[in-house]
Amino acid sequence: MKIFHRCAAFALGIILSGCGTSPSFLNPVSSIAEHEAKLYNNILIMALLVFVFVEICLIWILIRDRQQKADDTLPKQIYGNTKLEITWTAIPVLVTVVLFAMTVQTMKSVAAPAAAASDINLHVIGHRWWWEFDYTDLGIKTANELHIPVGATVQITLDSIDVIHSFWVPQLSGKTDVVPGQTNHMWLTANQTGEFFGQCAEFCGTEHAMMRIAVVVDSQDRFDAWVANQQKPAPQPQTGDQQAGHKLVSTLCASCHSLNPAETETKVGPNLAHLFSRSTFAGATYDLDEANLRRWLHDTQPMKPENDMNLKLTPQEIDELVAYLLLLK
Nearest 5°: phi and psi at 123?
Answer: -110, 120
Q: How many residues can be counted in the chain?
A: 329
State the nearest-atom distance from the C-beta of 286 to ligand CUA, in Å: 17
CB-nearer residue toward ligand CUA: 204 or 321: 204
Helix, strand or coil, per DSSP, at residue 173: coil
CB-nearer residue toward ligand CUA: 211 or 234: 211
Q: Which of 110, 154, 204, 327 binds ligand CUA (CB under 6 A)?
A: 204
Q: Which of 110, 146, 188, 200 binds ligand CUA (CB under 6 A)?
A: 200
State the nearest-atom distance from the C-beta of 198 to ligand CUA, in Å: 11
State the nearest-atom distance from the C-beta of 177 to ligand CUA, in Å: 10
State the nearest-atom distance from the C-beta of 205 to ligand CUA, in Å: 7
Q: How far apart are alpha carbons 206 and 307 in whole angstroms?
A: 9
State the nearest-atom distance from the C-beta of 129 to ligand CUA, in Å: 6
Residue 159 · residue 125 · CB < 8 Å:
yes
Q: Which of 129, 168, 187, 281 binds ligand CUA (CB under 6 A)?
A: 129
Residue 133 · residue 124 · CB < 8 Å:
yes
Please tell me what DSSP assigns to residue 291: H
CB-nearer residue toward ligand CUA: 168 or 296: 168
State the nearest-atom distance from the C-beta of 202 to ligand CUA, in Å: 5
Residue 164 · residue 177 · CB < 8 Å:
yes
Specify the DSSP element, H or E, that contains 100.
helix 82-110
**Restricting to residues 249-288, which ones interact with ligand CUA according to CB under 6 A?**
none
Cis peptide before 129 (omega within 30 of 0): yes
Choices 3-11, 196-204, 233-241, 313-321; region in contact with ligand CUA by CB under 6 A: 196-204
Asked if 217 interacts with ligand CUA (CB under 6 A), we say no
Cα 86 to Cα 81, 83, 94, 132, 145, distances in angstroms: 9, 5, 12, 56, 56
Helix, strand or coil, per DSSP, at residue 166: strand
Q: How far apart are alpha carbons 171 and 28 in whole angstroms?
A: 5
**Restricting to residues 150-169, which ones interact with ligand CUA according to CB under 6 A?**
165
Asked if 320 interacts with ligand CUA (CB under 6 A), we say no
Give the alpha-carbon dihedral of 319, 321, 327, 329, to 10 degrees.
-130
Asked if 124 interacts with ligand CUA (CB under 6 A), we say no
Asked if 212 interacts with ligand CUA (CB under 6 A), we say no
Asked if 210 interacts with ligand CUA (CB under 6 A), we say no
Q: Which of 141, 208, 257, 304 binds ligand CUA (CB under 6 A)?
A: 208
Please tell me what DSSP assigns to residue 210: G
Q: How far apart are alpha carbons 225 and 221 in whole angstroms?
A: 6
Which parts of this chain interact with ligand CUA (CB under 6 A)? 126, 129, 165, 200, 202-204, 208, 211
